[in-house]
Amino acid sequence: MDERVLKWLFDIKMAIEEIDLYFEKTDKDFDEYRKNTMLKRAVERDLEIIGEAVNRIIKRDASFINTISNAKAIIGLRNQVIHAYDNISDENIWSILINHLPKLKSDIDKLITDNK
Q: What is the pLDDT of residues 68-95, one digit of tens each?
A: 999 999 999 999 999 988 889 999 999 9
100 in active site? no
Q: Which of 4, 34, 41, 78 is catalytic?
A: 78
As a whole number of angstroms, the distance between CA 109 and CA 13 comes to 7
Which stretches within 1-116 are classed as H helix? Answer: 3-22, 30-35, 37-60, 71-83, 90-95, 101-115
Q: Which of 34, 45, 83, 100 is catalytic?
A: 83
> How far apart, in Å, are the Cα atoms of 40 and each of 65, 78, 98, 114?
28, 14, 14, 33
Q: What is the pLDDT of residues 27-68, one digit of tens each?
A: 899 999 999 999 999 999 999 999 999 999 999 999 999 999
pTM of this structure: 0.94
What 8-state DSSP symbol labels residue 83? H
As a whole number of angstroms, the distance between CA 107 and CA 102 comes to 9
Of 37, 27, 25, the closest CA to residue 90 belongs to 37
pLDDT at 53: 98
